[in-house]
Amino acid sequence: MQYARYGGPEVLEIVEREDPQPGPGQVRLAVRVASINPIDWKLRGGGMAPSDAPEKPVVPGVDLAGTVEAVGEGVTGLGVGDEVLGNASGGAYAEKALADAKGLVAKPAGVSWEIAGSVAVVVNTAYRVLAQLGLGADDDTAGKVLVINGASGGVGVVATQVAVDRGITVIGTASERHQGDVKALGATPVVYGDGLADRIRAITDHVDAAFDTAGKGSLGDLVALTGSADRVITIADPQAEEYGVQFSSGGGIDGALAEFVGQVAAGRYSAPETVVYSLDEAGKAQEDNRTGAVSGKLVLRM
């Protein structure tokens, strides 16, 4: 699946391509499942690009799961037939994809392909931001109070469980229909939107930090709750600079992905629920994610 110009889901087209050859440090995967992330349709829409067409056709998609079928020079620890998950390099919405071997982790047998293919981006993001907030695995986190704005989404579901596991009291925002889901993760659920700060103050008189996964205009409330822009991080709000809040982007934390899928395999963590589409439904899947019509982690099964 690729696009040669920016636009709506109609710019996506299925094409036949030669199998990509892994370079040094890379492997080629026979992809089983590729994940839909909001960044995929944001990039496809072109709003983040300086022109109306990319230099060359783009295969969308970041995270995936599949079976190693070719190994590039210098790769150690991975061989043909290994079942892995992680990030693609150069697009994931494809039957064959390249990936840097060092970012991949083994797929536990007890974890489905759908879950394996859908967690790398949200897990890497959740663990990274918790650490940036001083709520990492090695920090003194017991008894801290954290607001997660958007606790029912892909990043939120992961961040909430990891934070609760670290002894942090989590207040998680979601829509009315997801209040029960947030509670089941161990957080105190609150409905997002106007009056958010007052609803949270009715629960606690102290908030140590806030993690905004939603990017929907809540930074003013979150800064007021924590008392300082330094205690708030967003991964999605374009007004971050205006509020003096850090906008976090980048990769993960060593070991985070293996730990999370290990906990899922052990039945201790729940992965975000998955909804499956076929590769030729990629445009519909992206639209369903963009509009919020379908909740959960949307995935493409090859």
Ligand X SMILES: NC(=O)c1ccc[n+]([C@@H]2O[C@H](COP(=O)([O-])OP(=O)(O)OC[C@H]3O[C@@H](n4cnc5c(N)ncnc54)[C@H](OP(=O)(O)O)[C@@H]3O)[C@@H](O)[C@H]2O)c1
- Nearest Cα neighbor of 105 from 253, 271, 266 is 253
Q: Is 220 in the site for ligand X (CB under 6 A)?
A: no
Nearer to ligand X, 6 or 22 (CB): 6
Backbone dihedral angles phi then psi of residue 9, each to the nearest 5 degrees: -60, -20
Q: In the bound complex, which residue of the shown chain has the CB atom lying closest to ligand X?
A: 153
The one segment of 24-32, 48-56, 150-158, 224-232 that binds ligand X by CB under 6 A: 150-158
Nearer to ligand X, 27 or 271 (CB): 271
Binding to ligand X (CB under 6 A) within 25-54 occurs at: 37-39
Nearer to ligand X, 99 or 155 (CB): 155
Tell me which of 26, 35, 87, 152 binds ligand X, using CB under 6 A: 152
Is residue 224 within 8 A of residue 197, CB to CB? The reply is yes
The gap from C-alpha 84 to its chain's centroid, in whole angstroms, comes to 17
Q: In the chain, where does DSSP find H-type helix?
A: 38-45, 113-118, 120-132, 154-165, 179-184, 196-201, 219-226, 240-243, 256-265, 282-291
* Enclosing H/E stretch for 28: strand 26-35
The gap from C-alpha 5 to its chain's centroid, in whole angstroms, comes to 25
Q: Give the three-state DSSP class for 97.
A: strand
Nearer to ligand X, 23 or 195 (CB): 195
Q: Is 274 in the site for ligand X (CB under 6 A)?
A: no
Q: Binding residues for ligand X, how many (CB under 6 A)?
A: 29
Tell me which of 27, 122, 133, 257 binds ligand X, using CB under 6 A: 122
Instruction: Give min distance, CB of 293 to ligand X, in A.
Output: 11
Q: Which residues bind ligand X (CB under 6 A)?
A: 37-39, 121-122, 125, 149-150, 152-156, 173-175, 178, 192-193, 213-216, 218, 235-236, 248-249, 295
